[in-house]
Structure 1
Amino acid sequence: MKKWLTISTLCAVLLIGGCNTANDQQVPEEVNGEETEEDPSTEQTPEDDDAEQEGEDEGVENNEDFLAVEDEFTKEFLVSTDVEPGFHQMRGKLDGFEMLIPENGIISDLLHDIENDDAETVIYTFNNYREKKLYDVQVMYQSHYPEELKQSYLNVFKRANNFEGEYKYVEANGLEMYYGSLEDKDEYGPYVQYFSYLFAKDRNQAISYSYTAMCQGEEECTLSFEKDIAMAEKLMHSIRLLDQ
């Protein structure tokens, strides 16, 4: 499960930040079929390399300011901005659910899917660059689900998240919420995971939700279980299933 999360997150990060694969070295140009020599005055010096590296570092840091309202695809989901400090309100494209999204949350078009006009998957990521943390939120909405399979859905979801405990249960926002959490470590480093299955009480709509906090890339960081769970629960409790 964690590996899939990391792969999906990597795709989104690549889309957000882009890939700088350009070669900084100049290639001799051909003029009238002959190669021209590079002007020594334009040759890059170690000092230039240091200045360029400093500029790249600043650019990476500035990625923290890449906001949801600036991303063309993410903007298509926003129904209200600044609903509270640091958060916007987003709605799925099937008009089946709404929830909060952090102001620096980015939805990738490659990680968004609609199936048969009755199921939608939305994945968004956001970062805390100063603490070298990366967050992945996945929401899978179903406009109709077979009520007799409710327990099967819960069991499969538990196995998918490698969770051996028992769900906790709460009712809020007209939803029955079954949720769990864990912290662990794998080959990619430590992570905190929170997941829940939410069922509408008065109709057979459902939505699965998962939140994962991890270290960014191979950077070392310190995860706070209590802090990350608090954010995960805030986002979960913001979810509303809409009438169809």
Structure 2
Amino acid sequence: MKKWLSLSTLCVVLLIGGCNTGNDQQEPKEEVNGEDTQEDPSTEQTPEDEDAEQEGEDEGVQNNEDFLAVEDEFTKDFLVETEVEPGFHQMRGKLDGFEMLIPENGIISDLLHDIENDKAETVIFTFNNHLEKKQYNVKLMYQSQYSGDWKQNYLNVFKDEVGFDGEYEYAEANGLEIYHESYEDEDEYGPVLKYFSYLFSKHRNQAISYEFIAVCQGGEDCTQSLEEEAEIAEKLMYSIRLLDQ
């Protein structure tokens, strides 16, 4: 399980870094060539300046600003309705197979979005809670057709992929059969929550897997509550609708 957590955390960090680059928010770093330079006294940092700079670096995960879904060129093409409720938009997959809520600061990665044979689609989006120094990663894998005889195989393989060896909880909602569970652990950055589910349409051979990862990025300044993070995970999960095609 620890190996999976390390890989997942690395994926989240790389993903956010890619989103930042795509939104042109990174500032170029000044290179030093080893030559002595004469500093302008007016630009010399005081201890107070250094303290303020350190405080700024400690805020947020990558920077101090959110990237908004409606402002991101790739993400906004998925939005079908904005501000459906405070803090959330409605998004739809490119195969028109599913809809769900996405936080207003959720960013869909163009690098990791994939459509296979017009039958399967992978969507990954991330969002941050800068105040609490948390980072969230959501991965969806939609299938427009699957064999009902293989449902249990799908569930077993999915458990192996997420590193879980227990039993699923079962629920029904929105015309879906939902198999879900969660666990929490720690990695080198702090607590990690994993919430995951497989959702099958009760009326059509459609299915979608859902993975939600909450990662602390603030060290001792960041705490995770399984119950509180699960509420966010379940809000997004229960907003999923599989659409007629």
**TM-score class normalised by the smaller sequence:** 0.7 to 0.9
**In the TM superposition, what whole-angstrom CA distance separates every residue of 1:31-64 from its partner, at most 9, and x where no partner exists?**
xxxxxx9776488412499379739928965643
Cα offset, 1:115, TM superposition: 1.0
Distance in structure 2 (CA, Å) of the matches to 1:59 and 1:73: 29
Contact 1:198 1:208 in 2 (8 A): yes
User: Which runs of no fewer than 5 residues in structure 2 stay unpaired?
Assistant: none
Whole-angstrom CA distance in 2 between matches of 1:52 and 1:189: 24
Between the two proteins, the alignment pairs up a number of residues equal to: 236
Structure 2 partner of 1:16: 19
Paired residues of 1:175 and 1:200 also in contact (CA < 8 A): yes
Q: Describe the SS at the equivalent of 1:65.
A: coil
Task: State the Cα distance separating 1:189 from its structure 2 match.
Answer: 2.8
Which position in structure 1 is the counterpart of 2:186?
185
SS state at 1:76 partner:
helix
Cα 1:110–1:48 change in 2 (3 A) is farther
Corresponding residue SS for 2:167:
coil
| CA displacement, residues 136-159 of structure 1 (integer Å, 9 cap, x when unaligned) | 111000001121111000011112
Question: Identity over aligned residues, as a percent?
Answer: 59
Amino acid at match of 1:124: F
Contact kept, 8 Å, 2:185 with 2:193, in 1: the verdict is yes
Q: Secondary structure at 2:164's aligned position in 1? A: coil
Counterparts of 1:131 and 1:207, CA distance in 2: 30
Aligned to 1:71: 72
After superposition, give the CA deviation of every residue in 1:58-104 in whole Å (9 maximum; x if it has no partner).
89656433211111111011110000001000001111100000111
1:203-229 CA distances to partner (integer Å, 9 max, x unpaired)? 110000011111127564100111100
Q: Distance in 2 between matches of 1:41 and 1:116?
A: 60
Q: Which residue of 2 aligns with 1:123?
A: 124
Q: Which moved more, 1:15-24 or 1:164-173?
A: 15-24
Q: Deviations over 1:171-192 (max 9, x none)?
A: 1101000001111123443211
Structure 1 regions of 5+ residues with no counterpart? 29-36
Paired letter, 2:231 = A
Whole-Å separation in 2 of the counterparts to 1:140 and 1:121: 4
Secondary structure of residue in 2 paired with 1:109: coil
Deviates more, 1:110-119 or 1:78-87: 110-119
Q: Amino acid of the residue matched to residue 22 of structure 1?
A: K
What is the Cα-based RMSD across aligned positions, in Å?
A: 2.8
d(CA) in 2 for partners of 1:227, 1:236 = 14
Counterpart CA distance in 1 for 2:39 and 2:153 is 70
1:117 Cα shift?
Answer: 1.0
CA contact (8 A) 2:66 2:128 kept: no
What does 1:57-206 align with in structure 2 at a 5 Å threshold?
Answer: 57=56, 63-206=64-207
